[in-house]
Amino acid sequence: MSLSEFDIIERYFSRRAAARADVVLGIGDDAALLQVPADRQLAVAMDTLVAGRHFPPQTAAFDIGWKALAVNLSDLAAMGASPAWATLSLTLPEADDAWLAGFADGFFELAERYRVELVGGDTTRGPLAVTVQVHGLVEPGRALRRSGARAGQQLFVTGTPGDAACALQALQSGDTVAPALLQRLNRPEPRVDFGMALAGTGGAAAIDISDGLLADLGHILDAGQCGATLWIDRLPRSSGLASVQDEAALGCQLYGGDDYELCFSLDPGRAGQLEVLARQQQLAVTRIGVIESQPGIRCRRDDGSLYTPQGAGFDHFRVP
């Protein structure tokens, strides 16, 4: 028997993943009712995943569900906001039980971990596409804006950018992909706890790396009307990426998107606090450069020579 739209919502999306008291009214009415605390600002972000464009068509349903929420939580992380609620717009070619079960499992595994309640959405038929909107809470004045970078601040990155791009390239050329790299492409870890803690220390500017380190760093620099020197030999490299030829690995690190690590700037005086935080959270945080007043990004080798980047970050509408 085929599933109706309401069967789908009832069977797969009505889980109270977080059982949050601030959800006055969840799925089932014309709109959800949510109680925003009087002393918080609402941080809202939305991201769409389109089959064949944001994930390869053969991607497992679980991974699509996971990633659809993860990329949104990553935006909240980059603001330093605490995740609270989500809505989900799902466009499906057909109502496939096994696919829906896998998708919901992936979505709710992450939702439970970060206490995010799914409070509504929309379900339609068409080519596979998933849009999630997330709502987070942040103390007024504490959000990590892109525009906070200032000359003299140090530049950092979490984790090991480049892994997801390396996995995608291997998939696309039909090569075998190291499981650790594939995991990074299919199940990105949004740096939610780190982003919140960073906002708490009075962090400066932050962005999550979705389109490539150089491109996303560029957004921070534009917003802060400043520039940076990037020490490319110090970019952290995972063991998976270390086995790739050097120039190719560097390309993944500089231009590869989809890692959802955080790139941020911080006053030098906060380096000690940052060290404690990284240790507490057991997250690798690497100093990769310095913010300067001269606009543009200068990529430097450890021997002092300048390196000229050959690529660009991802842009859906760029004409090749």
Q: Tokens 């977080």 sit at which residue?
A: 18
- Regarding 29 and contact with ligand ADP (CB under 6 A), the answer is yes
State the nearest-atom distance from the C-beta of 89 to Mg ion, in Å.
14
State the nearest-atom distance from the C-beta of 30 to Mg ion, in Å.
4
Q: Distances in Å between the alpha carbon of 307 and those of 127, 189, 194, 262, 265?
A: 42, 30, 31, 23, 22
Of 123 and 169, which has the nearer Cβ to Mg ion?
123
Of 30 and 39, which has the nearer Cβ to Mg ion?
30
Residue 155: count of CB within 10 angstroms of its CB: 25
235-264 footprint of ligand ADP as x/- string (CB under 6 A) = ------------------------------
State the nearest-atom distance from the C-beta of 28 to Mg ion, in Å.
11
Residues β-bridged to residue 42: 137
- Regarding 302 and contact with ligand ADP (CB under 6 A), the answer is no
- Regarding 90 and contact with ligand ADP (CB under 6 A), the answer is yes
Adjacency order of strands within the sheet including 262-266: 206-208, 262-266, 154-158, 285-292, 227-231, 296-300, 306-307
Q: Using CB distances below 5 to 8 A depending on partner kind, what does residue 29 bind out of Mg ion, ligand ADP, none?
A: ligand ADP
- Regarding 91 and contact with ligand ADP (CB under 6 A), the answer is no
- Regarding 121 and contact with ligand ADP (CB under 6 A), the answer is yes
DSSP 8-state code for residue 295: S
Interface ranges with Mg ion (CB under 5 A) = 30
Q: Looking at 26-34, 38-46, 96-104, 151-159, which segment touches ligand ADP (CB under 6 A)?
A: 26-34
State the nearest-atom distance from the C-beta of 17 to Mg ion, in Å.
23
- Compute CA 135 distance to the chain's CA centroid, rounded to the nearest angstrom: 15
Of 86 and 165, which has the nearer Cβ to ligand ADP?
86
Cβ neighbors of 151 (< 8 A, separation 6 or more) are 226, 291, 292, 293
Q: Which two tokens stand for residue 69?
A: 């929420």
Q: Which amino acid is at 134?
A: V
* Residue 263 contacts residue 162 (beta carbons within 8 Å): no
State the nearest-atom distance from the C-beta of 120 to Mg ion, in Å.
10
Phi, psi of 45 (to 5 degrees): -145, 155
Q: Using CB distances below 5 to 8 A depending on partner kind, what does residue 43 bind out of ligand ADP, Mg ion, none?
A: none
Q: Using CB distances below 5 to 8 A depending on partner kind, what does residue 244 bind out of ligand ADP, Mg ion, none?
A: none
- Regarding 27 and contact with ligand ADP (CB under 6 A), the answer is yes
Q: Using CB distances below 5 to 8 A depending on partner kind, what does residue 246 bind out of Mg ion, ligand ADP, none?
A: none
Helix (H, G, I), strand (E, B) or coil at 117: strand
DSSP 8-state code for residue 3: P
State the nearest-atom distance from the C-beta of 33 to Mg ion, in Å.
14
Distance CA 12, CA 174 (A): 34
Q: Which amino acid is at 124?
A: T
Instruction: Give the binding site for ligand ADP (CB under 6 A).
Output: 9, 13, 27-30, 88, 90, 118, 120-123
